[in-house]
A and B are shown apart, each in its own frame.
Chain A
Amino acid sequence: MSRQIADYHVEEVPCILIRPSKGWRLINLRELRAYRELLYFLAWRDIKVRYKQTVLGAAWAIIQPFFTMVVFSLFFGRLAKVPSDGIPYPIFSYSALVPWTFFANGLTQSSASLVAGAALVKKVYFPRLVLPISAVLSGVVDFALAFVVLVGMMFFYGIIPTVAAVWLPFFLLLALVTSLGVGLWLTAMNAQFRDVRYAVPFLVQLWLFATPIAYPSSLLSEPWRTLYGINPMTGVVEGFRWALLGTQTAPGPMIYVSALVSLGLLVSGAFYFRRLEKTFADVI
């Protein structure tokens, strides 16, 4: 008894106030931190389960970008003779497809995460942000696998990365932030209207061609090139090429624009998500 009382005083007694919320709410980072273990377990579950009962297993993480690269090299590189900033076309496109695949999968998975986790949302409380975040994070493993192949290809083509390679984590983070930002918008909408499920594959496809993956952004002249950074994936893809392959497209103003847009998407997405959060359990 006395020990309990001691605990009672030492450990701060959490007090939860439950009341109807009004309007826009802030993101509760402290609470999110408290639920980091759940975040970890959900991401871990996604990774574990993703390639269960498949023949090729984790090879799918590589097949996806690799064969896209093959197709691109054939049609854009060989037949259409699309310029590739003086780099062999296969590695030019693959180095862009690796972060792109991470982004596209993250976006797809996070936008579906809430509906897929409906059973959880209806029966257990946790900050709902955990679901889309863990969905995006679980893609990091696939990214790593595809990245290993990228390194192998660089060996094959005899490309030595420059010191700029230290910036890679930053560009990965940028891809993650973009993916999550858009994912938050879409997943919150998906809870209300399942149209999102049909819109996402379409959106991803359009976005693929709006991003300089099959072609270089150097096709555009300067004011337009910076403006192109409004598509945050432009910054990510060109940043990757610059950091790994040493292309001349050093991240100038374009990257700043991309980073800003990406951050804007994340913050607005998080607010929008928080605003709709209270309705999730009732409408899913």
Chain B
Amino acid sequence: MSGIVIRVENLSKRYRIGSLRPSYKTLRESLTEAAQAPLRRAAKLLRGEAYGAAGLEETIWALKDVSFRVDQGEVVGIIGRNGAGKTTLLKILSRITEPTEGCAEIHGRMGALLEVGTGFHPELTGRENIYLNGAILGMRKVEIESKFDEIVAFSGVEQFIDTPIKHYSSGMAVRLAFSVAAHLEPEILLVDEVLAVGDAAFQRKCMGKMQDVAREGRTVLFVSHNMGAIQSMCQRAIWLNGGKVMSDGVSRQVVQQYMGSASGDSVLYAPQPSRGYTDLIIEKMVLKNSQGQITKTVSSGEELHIEIYYHALKRLPKPYFWIAIRSRFGSLCGANMLFDGACPECIEGRGMIACTFSALRLLPQIYTIRLGIRHQNGINNYIENAEISFAVTGAAQDLGMEGEMAHNFFDDFYCLLVPYAWHLPDGKIVPVNGFHVCQESASPTSDLGMQNGDQ
């Protein structure tokens, strides 16, 4: 069971993004234009030409010369920023829209999930919507009938199955929608970011379902922003940027490259608004790894060195620097001279202050470093919230996580890894993240995961 099932050759798609309207100078001009335009458009319409095929429009290439092949049974992650062309690629492969250039070949029964609940009608009951949605996704009636009970059970809305879904909560509707989608069983599955729906518990259920699909040996193209999911589910990833393939290969490496680029410039130069105090300028902020190289990515547990290059326009006594490392949940940890009692006596002219975080045990995500500098009174700011971001890379396995749900770890729960141990009823102690167990009965795996030790 091998062979190429998806072959994509130089696939390109051009979109028109509105017209570059000539600016009308006079009322007369705009009136003539208004009179002529409908005639021109009508003529075009009757010739069967696409809307606005004339050269007046501004166009963008949503996809440009994308080529790749996918073998039978491969699970391929597609990553990239918003607008990188991921959805366009799926739309072309699922035949929703045509490519402008290039071609693609697909061997096998294909199903595409660009959205869950497409075609759900609020007036129809849950039962009716299952049939309708199933048919829209390309399932046969007999197929839906045979899976009906499973679908309902998976969704967990049994009691309301004969209620019109307009009375459902949005969460219930989404669950029902995903259940139908999850029971789609094509040979080739294209999935857009549809897993980002529902509550965390349901998301985990969906991820589990996706894993099953992957294990069953079906070919899957999977668009996601969840790097953890991509790394644990896909052997291979394709990184799209600006409609082009930036990288295509082993998912862990591709994700690393992508995260490295996604965290933006490693050197920050942004004179931040400072309320009333223009005496201090941050010229740049630089991140370095343990080897002293400028970087945007560090692996979990590695040292992170932050250098702040300032320019004090006059002598500033006792400025307080603070640094906070933040995830999307908020601040995780930081350093603050105000509390540490470590501020310089004074600064003047150009200089640098650095701060080293050792053993920064963060989970693979993108983080920001926020910097502020305060006046000696501890209240007024010279610099407020200057930011720079960096990525922590690595997959669940690198962190020593071995549980079967490890892949879900990244986005859902927390960011910080601390050593801990489980004390089980049978007296067994399971150390995690390099927890140091002093008993001799403990397993010798206290270096599980981290190298840059725990003390």
Contacts and interface: CB of A to CB of B under 8 A. Distances in A.
B95 A18 contact: yes
A21 B100 CA distance: 9
Contacts, number: 114
A19 B94 CA distance: 12
Interface in B1-34: 1, 15
Given A19-B102, A20-B100, A281-B91, A120 B108 contact: no
Interface stretch (A46-54, A81-89, A145-153, A158-166): A46-54
B136 A13 contact: no
B51 A279 contact: yes
B153 interface: no
Contacts of A193: 41, 45, 51
B135 interface: yes
Interface in A109-154: 119-126
Contacts of B394: none
A124 B121 contact: no
A55 interface: no
Contact of A49 (B41, B96, B101, B124): B124
B123 A53 contact: yes
Interface stretch (B112-120, B243-251, B297-305, B411-419): B112-120
B97 A278 contact: yes
A278 to B, nearest CB: 4
A212 to B, nearest CB: 29
Nearest to A277: B98
B132 interface: yes
Contacts of B48: 24, 272, 275-276
Nearest to B135: A41
A68 B119 CA distance: 35
Interface stretch (A1-9, A97-105, A216-224, A242-250): A1-9
A45 B98 contact: no
Contacts of B119: 119-120, 124
B324 interface: no
Given A1-B1, A48-B123, A124 B137 contact: yes
Contacts of B112: 124-125
A189 interface: yes
A123 B118 contact: yes
Nearest to A125: B95
Looking at A41, A42, A53, A122, the one whose CB has the most chain B CB atoms below 10 A away is A41
Given A18-B99, A281-B97, A4 B51 contact: no
B131 interface: yes
Range of interface residues on A (Cβ < 8 Å): 35 or more
Contacts of B131: 41
B45 A38 contact: no
A164 B132 CA distance: 39
Interface in B87-145: 91-110, 112, 114-115, 118-119, 121, 123-124, 128, 131-132, 135-138, 140-141
A56 interface: no
A38 B136 contact: yes
B35 interface: no
B109 A19 contact: no
Interface string B31-68: 00000000001000100101100000000000000000
A192 B128 CA distance: 32
B139 to A, nearest CB: 9
A282 B97 contact: yes
B123 A20 contact: no
A276 B114 contact: no
Contacts of A49: 121, 123-124
Contacts of A52: 123
Interface string A166-186: 000000000000000000000
B140 A37 contact: yes
Contacts of B93: 18
B118 A124 contact: yes
Interface string A263-279: 00000000010011011
Contacts of B107: 13-16
A5 B97 contact: no
A16 B111 CA distance: 12
A79 interface: no
Contacts of A120: 118-119, 136
A29 interface: no
A15 B105 CA distance: 7
Given A48-B124, A120-B118, A124-B118, A16 B132 contact: no
For A14, A17, A18, the residue with the greatest tally of chain B CB atoms inside 10 Å of its CB is: A18
A16 to B, nearest CB: 4
B98 A278 contact: yes
A25 B100 CA distance: 16
A283 interface: yes
Given A20-B101, A192-B45, A122 B51 contact: no
B51 A283 contact: yes
A13 B50 contact: no
B41 A8 contact: no
Contact of A279 (B1, B50, B95, B115): B50
Contacts of B99: 18-20
Contact of B106 (A15, A37, A38, A189): A15
Contacts of A121: 96
B1 A45 contact: no
Interface in B74-98: 91-98
A197 to B, nearest CB: 15
B17 to A, nearest CB: 11
Contacts of A8: 1
A254 B225 CA distance: 64
**What are the nearest 7 A-B pairs in CB distance?**
A19-B103, A41-B135, A18-B104, A125-B95, A275-B48, A281-B97, A16-B106
Interface of A: 1, 4-5, 8, 13-21, 24, 37-38, 40-42, 45, 48-49, 52-53, 119-126, 189, 192-193, 272, 275-276, 278-279, 281-283
26 contacts: A14-B108, A16-B110, A17-B103, A18-B98, A18-B103, A19-B99, A19-B103, A20-B98, A20-B99, A37-B141, A41-B135, A41-B136, A42-B135, A45-B132, A49-B123, A52-B123, A120-B118, A120-B119, A123-B114, A124-B96, A124-B114, A125-B95, A125-B96, A272-B48, A279-B50, A281-B91
Given A24-B48, A48-B128, A120-B136, 18 more contacts: A5-B1, A13-B107, A14-B107, A14-B108, A15-B107, A16-B106, A16-B107, A17-B105, A18-B104, A19-B98, A19-B104, A38-B138, A41-B135, A45-B124, A49-B123, A124-B96, A125-B94, A193-B41
